[in-house]
């Protein structure tokens, strides 16, 4: 179970306006999800995920509840992926990616191995945070 994304034009006005909001909203997602997460450098232990405008977003589940690290950077232009194997942190990863798409729909491409129905828990969580 893997998610794939890319930013079409990292220099676009839409993406530049979306990025600071996405970073801020990522903290909201993390706090409300209540899932044990980790960030660099100790992915095997619960640590504070990396979430900042300059260095990007780096999040993984802890220990056996993790898989690949979500790495999302403002200036990344290549297609990037994150395999979550639908482990608990997939809720956070999926919600961050949906938020990126919602904030910059013309610049953020998002696809997944999963079907839209597989995203039900992510979509429900997203709707709790941003009901509009």
Query: How many alpha carbons lie under 13 Å from residue 111 in its C-beta half-sphere?
Result: 4
Please choose, from the candidates 100, 96, 82, the residue with its C-alpha nearest in 3D space to the C-alpha of residue 7. 100
Greater model confidence, 45 or 31: 31
Domain around 81: 2-129
Three-state secondary-structure class, residue 87: coil
| pLDDT score recorded for residue 43 | 60
* Whole-number pLDDT of residue 76: 86
* Percentage of residues in the chain having pLDDT higher than 70: 97
Burial profile 80-115: b = 16 or more Cβ within 10 angstroms, e = fewer: eebebeebbbbbbbbbbbbbbbbbbeebbeeebebe
More confident residue, 77 or 5: 5
Give the tens place of pLDDT for each residue, 79-130: 999 999 999 999 999 999 999 999 999 999 999 998 889 999 999 999 999 9
The per-residue pLDDT for 132 is 82
Count of helix runs (H) and strand runs (E) in the chain:
3, 7
Taking the model in full, what pTM does it have? 0.95
* Angle CA 63–69–71, to nearest 5: 155
Count structural domains, the chain: 1
């Amino acid at each position: 179970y893997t998610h794939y994304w890319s930013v079409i034009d990292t220099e676009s006005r839409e993406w530049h306006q979306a990025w600071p909001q996405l970073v801020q909203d990522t903290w909201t997602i993390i706090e409300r999800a209540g899932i044990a997460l980790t960030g660099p450098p100790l992915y095997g232990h619960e640590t504070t995920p990396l979430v900042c405008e300059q260095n990007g977003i780096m999040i993984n589940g802890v220990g056996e509840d993790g898989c690949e690290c979500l790495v999302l950077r403002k200036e990344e232009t290549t297609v990037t992926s994150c395999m979550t194997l639908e482990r608990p942190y997939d809720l956070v990863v999926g919600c961050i990616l949906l938020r990126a798409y919602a904030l910059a729909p013309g610049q953020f491409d998002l696809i997944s191995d999963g079907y839209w129905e597989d995203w039900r828990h992510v979509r429900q969580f997203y709707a709790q945070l941003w009901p509009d």
